[in-house]
Amino acid sequence: MNVLWVVAPPDPQSLTATLAVDGVEALREQGHTVEVSDLPAMGWNPVVTAADYGTEGRLRVSEAAGAASAEGRLPADVTAEQDKIRRADALVLHFPMWWFSMPAIMKGWIDRVFVSGFAYGVRAPEGHTRRYGDGILAGKRALVVTSTGGPAAAFGPRGVNGELDELLFPILHGTLFYAGATVLAPHLVPGADRYTEADASAAAADLRARLAGLEADAPLPYRVEREDYERLELRPHVATGETGLRAHLREGLMTTPGGDQQALTQVSA
């Protein structure tokens, strides 16, 4: 596979940076081709501005981005990242979790690269809008690797921070699956603020083991919009009585802290 590894380490000597180097090496040892977008090292600009689209006057981002995309006027740094995505068979987003989400520089990578006309606002030849199981990432696998200061239990079924796959739902479902990716359960590196050298070695081994399944691990069983939804709402006969985030999962697998998987009992149409 051709893998695009997008990483946002806060420092070149951080645990995130160290694990990224080891993870990329592991994938190459498995025979994969890997491209790396180290956002801080690239000096990535995370801020969307009118200059991205050559817009004067009021900036209507979606409209301006769609026009610039269609007319080939997006900035070179943005189109370079889009080309990496097109080449990739799998996408890894790797970041330390800050305030229950990704750091601003990676959010800005999403904001500037996943624009209208590329990752959303795209219509299929049949006329429907490509989203939630369809889109530019269709046929590509996606994995989120994230580290936290808190322990694994804090991100478990009864953890105070919320369960990991639900906590990351906006990224896993609202970004990656929206754009069509086959999304794998996230990989958690917990307790990173207190890591020793031995802990870091163990985390590298865990990540290597997880990456061995990048090509074949079962994905999160999100429901496809064109199959289970009508006017952006679940059809009445689908997941009857279910509400909340779990209603958007078919019967299948769910994540546990650390990226393992377990059986999910879920009403399924």
What does the pLDDT average to over 145-155?
Answer: 93
Q: Quick: pLDDT tens for 152-195.
A: 999 999 999 999 999 999 999 999 999 999 999 999 999 988 88
pLDDT in the model for residue 129? 87
- pLDDT value at residue 221: 95
What percent of the chain clears pLDDT 90, i.e. is strictly above it? 79
Please give the helix or strand (H or E) that residue 20 lies within, else none: helix 15-29
Residue where the block lists tokens 């996230």: 186
Q: How far is CA 166 from the centre of its chain?
A: 13
pLDDT at residue 193, as a whole number:
86
Contact 258, 251 (CB under 8 A): no
227 pLDDT higher than 50: yes
Q: How confident is the model at residue 251 (pLDDT cuts 50, 70, 90)?
A: confident
- Name the one residue in this structure whose structure tokens are 């498995």: 30
Please write the tens of the pLDDT for every residue from 5-62.
Answer: 999 999 999 999 999 999 999 999 999 999 999 999 999 999 999 999 998 889 999 9
Three-state SS for 208? helix
Confidence of residue 140 (pLDDT cuts 50, 70, 90): very high
pLDDT at 88 over 90: yes
95-138: per-residue pLDDT in tens?
A: 999 999 999 999 999 999 999 999 998 888 888 889 998 889 99
> Could you tell me the pLDDT band of residue 268, with boundaries at 50, 70 and 90?
very low
* Sign of the CA dihedral with 98 first, then 167, 109, and 80 last: positive
CB 115 within 8 A of CB 74: yes
E strands along 97-248, which residues? Answer: 141-147, 182-183, 187-189, 229-230, 233-234
Distance between start and end Cα atoms, the chain: 34
CA distance 54 to 68: 8
The CATH classification number of 2-217 equals: 3.40.50.360
**Distance (Å, rounded) from C-alpha 178 to C-alpha 260?**
23
Whether residue 265 is predicted with pLDDT greater than 70 in this model: the reply is: no
Task: For residue 244, give Cα distances in angstroms to 166, 241, 248.
Answer: 10, 10, 8
Angle (deg, nearest 10), helices 104-113 and 76-87: 90
- pTM here? 0.90
Contact by Cβ (8 Å): 14, 96: yes
Position 267 confidence tier, pLDDT thresholds 50, 70, 90: very low
**What is the Cα–Cα distance from 268 to 237, expressed in whole angstroms?**
9
Which pLDDT value is given to residue 18?
A: 94
